[in-house]
Amino acid sequence: MLTRLSRPRALALCAVPVLALFGVAAFAPLPFTLAQPGTTANVLGEDHGTPVISIKGAPTRPTKGELRMTTIVATGPTADVGVGDVIDSWFRTDRAVLPRDSVYPTGGSEKEIEKHNLEDMKKSQNSAVSAALNYLGKAPASVDVSLHLADVGGPSAGLFFALGIVDKLDGDGSGGDLTGGRTIAGTGTIRANGEVGAVGGVSLKTQAARRDGATVFLVPKDECRAAGAELPKGLQLIPVTTLKGAVSSLRALERGQKVPSC
């Protein structure tokens, strides 16, 4: 036997399971990672008392200014992220909600992911050394470069390691500093042939850069739009695609010449 319900009562009964679903979702973990601006590090300086870049077998030059690689801080791969966390982050410019798989594509435990990130960093360092020495026309067999930066994983510091090596060995090529005495920040992977690749999280990294005194930010060209989304006031974006292009842009900036823009 069927009983005909009034419209208000029918809507009320339909709302019960919907509200129940929202109630469950409010407490159930979601497949997201929350990220925020992380630390920055001057690759021309020291890390815990040890030079970030050490070079033997070739004369080096004293440097002024800073080349700051940037990072983001993200919740761990097993962290519970609820609806409230997601909603709060959506309304903040210093937070980002990212699909967990985009931050931790390899899966696995936290220790396995940490190991993977450290391996990526090591590969990135090797590529940065090769790219810098290839750009300067120096034989790797004659120049010994070691890189030291604790507590940072992943490949996104590659471009700035390479720029730091170039600055220590050659500066701007005319006796001056590649930085022009400025605090330059940025991000980007690098290949041994000097190609610069995208990294993600750039809108958060620009905030970290400005917070730590940078006035210029080098960004992989493909991520110009993302970098400009929440660009802090007083921070100039310069798009790059290669190590050679990045060096040329910094030289032009130092000389007051026109530089590329996003």
Q: Which residues contact 216 (CB under 8 A, 6 or more apart)?
A: 182, 183, 184, 185, 186, 235, 236, 238, 253
Rounded to whole angstroms, how far apart are CA atoms 192 and 199? 17
33: helix, strand or coil: strand
* Tens of pLDDT, residues 165-183: 999 999 999 999 999 999 9
pLDDT range class, residue 22, cuts 50, 70, 90: very low
The tokens 């974006």 sit on which residue?
A: 237
Average pLDDT of span 230-250: 97
Give the phi and the psi of residue 99 in degrees, each rounded to 5: -60, 135
β pairing state of 50-51 and 96-99: unpaired
As a whole number of angstroms, the distance between CA 25 and CA 36 comes to 24
66 and 179 Cβ atoms separated by less than 8 Å: yes
Q: What is the pLDDT of residues 121-145, one digit of tens each?
A: 788 899 999 999 999 999 888 999 9
Tell me: pLDDT of 257 over 90: yes
- 196 has pLDDT over 80: yes
Q: Cβ neighbours of residue 246 under 8 Å, at least 6 residues apart?
A: 159, 163, 196, 218, 238, 240
Give 107's pLDDT tier (boundaries 50, 70, 90): low
